Amino acid sequence: MDPIEVGKSYDSITHRWQSPEHPLGGLEQHERALRFVKNRGYALDAGCGCNGRFIDLLRKKGFTVEGVDVSERMIALAKQRDPTIAFYHADICEWELPRKYDFITGWDSIWHVPLATQSRVLQKLCAGLNSGGVLIFTTGAVDSPGDVQDAYMGPPMYTAALGIPKTLAVLSENGCVCRHLEYDQYPNLHLYVIAQKT
């Protein structure tokens, strides 16, 4: 599946992120990442979805926040929820970041990028950080590169991971240091990484 197809799959299940019964995680992990932040200018939520929990947190912490998502419906709902935020409907693989950021989050989103372009997207996000800027993202807790397509959430969905060694190598090659790496849902293969631009 390409990112446009993933976006269409998400278009059909936006209601899951609007439901109070749907568990939404990541806030505690973002609080941890924010401890490393030096400046609080612009922040980007890559794969922002529609519920705004990370955007709300980052605004409370003093950032000017922007969001990007490949799902047209998610972006429409996000704009409806908060029309004061700059939202972009775009494929992160092709989208050019409009500025550099002090904080970028890619929570449960950039793992939908095709495996062949994941390194390039991670490079782009690293390049999009100001000096001292922080990147937090999730990936598969696996040792080797791989991808899978399934219908676990209902519609067809695609996920991929570079593997931990390659992920850390890409970060290092692009001027970022890993500050924290955690299997936060063990034994599920869900991993989050906090990296900082040196």
In percent, the amount of the chain with pLDDT more than 90 equals 79
Q: What is the pLDDT of residue 57?
A: 96
Helices (H) and strands (E) in the chain, counts: 7, 9
Q: CA 4 from chain center: how many Å? A: 16
Taking residues 16-29, what's their average pLDDT?
Answer: 74
| HSE value, Cβ hemisphere, 13 Å, CA-based, for 6 | 25
Spell out the domain ranges in the chain.
3-16+26-197
Is residue 22 over pLDDT 70? no
Look over the chain and give the mean of its residue pLDDT values, rounded to a whole number: 93
Which tens digits make up the pLDDT trace of 116-165? Answer: 999 999 999 999 999 999 999 999 999 999 999 988 778 888 999 999 99
Q: What is the pLDDT of residue 23?
A: 57
Taking residues 56-85, what's their average pLDDT?
Answer: 96
Q: How many CB atoms lie within 10 A of CB 77?
A: 20
pTM: 0.94
Q: What is the pLDDT of residue 191?
A: 96
Q: What angle do CA 193, 59, 93 make, to 5 degrees?
A: 50
Provide the CATH topology of domain 3-16+26-197: Rossmann fold (3.40.50)
Closest CA to 197 of 124, 139, 118: 124
